[in-house]
Amino acid sequence: MKSDRLAEAFQYIDNQFLELVDTERSRKKPFWTYGGLVAAGLLLAVILFSVGAMANNWFGLRELLLNQRGIDWGDPNTRGLVWEDLEESGENTAGKGTWQNDVIGLAGAKGSKEAMALEEWQAFLESYDRDGSVLREADSDGISYENEGLYFVYSQEMDDKLKEIAAKYGLKLHTQMDIVCLPELAYRVGGTFWTNEPGPACGYIYEDGSFQVDLSYHAEEGWMTDYQLRRVVKGTLDEVALGIGDIEEYEEWIYQTRGGEQIILAMGSVKALILGDFEDCFVTANILEGTDEGFTKEKLEQLAAGIDFSILKAVKIPDMRGDVAFEEDFYLLQNGITPSRYAQEDEATAGQDGNGQGSASDGTDAAVGTAYPRETSKKGRYGAYYALLYELYHEKTWPDGTKCEFNFEGDMWRMEDNDFALSDVDGDGEEELIIMFPTSTMGGMEGRVYGYDAETESCYLELQEWPGFRFWDNGVVEVMLSHNHGPACESLWPFSIYKYDASEKRYIYQGTAYGFDKELSEELSKELGEDYTGKYPEEVDEQGYGTVYYIMTDGYSEDHPISREAYEEWLQQYYNGAVTLTLPYWKMTEQNIWAINVYE
């Protein structure tokens, strides 16, 4: 076989490449031997600044440490998130020993009044109400305290202690907190503080400009990660602390941002951190994965480079105009239109959430101000896409005149819970309109891909399937099936493959893949009432992988199982070095639909 000759050629690999197998393994290294993607100039800057940092006593994780705590898994009095999580999960923790959970404060470096106040407040909380009796009484006494809701306060004693600590260190206490969507947060903070589109997000902001938001970072290379970004404005008592596991396992280094800010990056096995101590605020990014999950120092630096600290460190007092949790409400407010749900806030009482959203009764969202016309002057591709989405949103009608099966019973769904994207998924050099429509019954959910015909000035359908798309950059799309009607398989959810045909201007079905795990055949027998034990085709699975596959091109059939090698050979003809596409999905809001008009 030709690949045998290629495999044989590997024996002639130079020693310099064989040595990399050892030298490039993931482990702690002195930063001056750190390789990767750091440009030589930046590396030199890091070295110089780290030397300077030692001279100026730059902070590190240890400067933020509140206490080092070993969590005794068998001790019911152990406080902290770990124990609460375990209680909820019902996990049996007997005999599991201790787990190190060091806690850092996020209010400022050691010695600052914010850090000292936090430490004192946290120490008080650690020792207070250890048997929970006060809390149990508070749940039913109906009494509210001044700082309840903004702080972890549920008794007068706690309220008094909080005020005492704040006064001792000359700090203010928070007085208001609003729930905000990302555009609203950017407006209040003073600008867009990210350089990589994080997708829809929601957070909260205080009257002094302190805030927290959960974001996703989507790298151009295709990887993504979730993180929490928190800014604590100095001068106010902030009570949030963070458990980081074992502080000893973290590797820390100084990173200089493009704006010239010096921040600390810290990499652990289950978590990574970005820490910035500025004159008016302290900023933390808590990345929810570490080296155990394959997160790397390079990725951490890439994520740090995607945050604009020049915006974050310039604290301004925000416009506390109440909760603005929905993006369409933000855009209406910016255009001087008061969202209807705000005007109706006083009328609607029962069943409302804190945002004052009324419940839908006729299938549409509580009447948001309709500031956007059906007809626009936009022509061509994007004008056609706008018209298509407008009809879908307002009339629940697809271009072919059929009604979409929008499930609007009660207030289960809103049109805004659907998504759309503009992206060249079929490789023809032009952007298609991709619509993901899950707001329906199982049978009514669908995903669609529309192209645009410039000659007829109309949209045409390229693909209509279950909304479980994964596009590849070679015109192939993988579509997950809604149900697995086949044999049980842990490692493979059945999927179909379609390939774009430029001459037919549509995606052509290639086949559907199912898997069958031998070890599940007994379970399957019980579930289906049919004897699957003994049905596993051993003769096909010569290598003993324990899984066989079926490629079905003409309806469901278990007649022709194939081996893993044959399955991977079938896959490779479609993937063949292609990479998956990360599409920039937008929520199907009026504002987002309107935004298509600005496309060139």
Name which of 62, 151, 132 is nearest 103 in CA terms: 62
Q: Which is nearer to other proteins, 12 or 534 (CB)?
A: 12
At its nearest, how many Å lie between other proteins and the CB of residue 1?
7
- 3-state secondary structure at position 434: strand
- CB contact set of 443 (below 8 Å; sequence gap of 6+): 405
CA separation for the pair 214, 370 (Å, rounded): 29
CA separation for the pair 87, 81 (Å, rounded): 10
CA separation for the pair 322, 447 (Å, rounded): 36
Q: Please report which helix (H) or strand (E) contains residue 547, including its range.
A: strand 547-552
Q: Which is nearer to other proteins, 38 or 461 (CB)?
A: 38
At its nearest, how many Å lie between other proteins and the CB of residue 108?
32
Q: How many CA atoms lie within 13 A of 223 on its CB side?
A: 11
At its nearest, how many Å lie between other proteins and the CB of residue 565?
6
CB atoms within 10 A of CB 346: 8
Place of tokens 């020993």: 97
Q: Which is nearer to other proteins, 293 or 395 (CB)?
A: 293
At its nearest, how many Å lie between other proteins and the CB of residue 249?
13
Q: In what order do the strands lie in the sheet with 506-517?
A: 469-471, 476-480, 495-501, 506-517, 547-552
Q: Which is nearer to other proteins, 13 or 39 (CB)?
A: 13
Q: Which is nearer to other proteins, 74 or 294 (CB)?
A: 294
- The site for other proteins (CB under 8 A) is made up of 1-15, 17-21, 23-26, 35-37, 223, 291, 293-294, 296, 542, 565, 568-569, 572, 575-577, 579
At its nearest, how many Å lie between other proteins and the CB of residue 572?
6
Amino acid at 578: A
Q: Which is nearer to other proteins, 10 or 362 (CB)?
A: 10
At its nearest, how many Å lie between other proteins and the CB of residue 25?
5
Q: Which is nearer to other proteins, 319 or 565 (CB)?
A: 565
At its nearest, how many Å lie between other proteins and the CB of residue 273?
17
CA separation for the pair 441, 467 (Å, rounded): 12
- CB contact set of 492 (below 8 Å; sequence gap of 6+): 513, 514, 515, 547, 549
Residues comprising the chain, all counted: 600
- Both structure tokens of 232: 């604590």
- Both structure tokens of 397: 């009608």
Q: Which is nearer to other proteins, 359 or 580 (CB)?
A: 580
Q: What are phi and psi of 328, to 5 degrees?
A: -65, -30
CB 290 within 8 A of CB 309: no
CB 304 within 8 A of CB 312: no
At its nearest, how many Å lie between other proteins and the CB of residue 222?
8
Name which of 177, 226, 457, 121 is nearest 325 in CA terms: 177
At its nearest, how many Å lie between other proteins and the CB of residue 295?
8
Q: Which is nearer to other proteins, 3 or 89 (CB)?
A: 3
Q: Which is nearer to other proteins, 337 or 571 (CB)?
A: 571
- Both structure tokens of 65: 């440490």
Q: Which is nearer to other proteins, 170 or 222 (CB)?
A: 222
CB 512 within 8 A of CB 496: yes
At its nearest, how many Å lie between other proteins and the CB of residue 487?
24
Buried-state track 481-516, b at ≥16 Cβ within 10 A, e below 16: beeeebbbbeebebbbbbbbeeeeebbeebebbbbb
Q: Which is nearer to other proteins, 7 or 454 (CB)?
A: 7
- 3-state secondary structure at position 133: helix
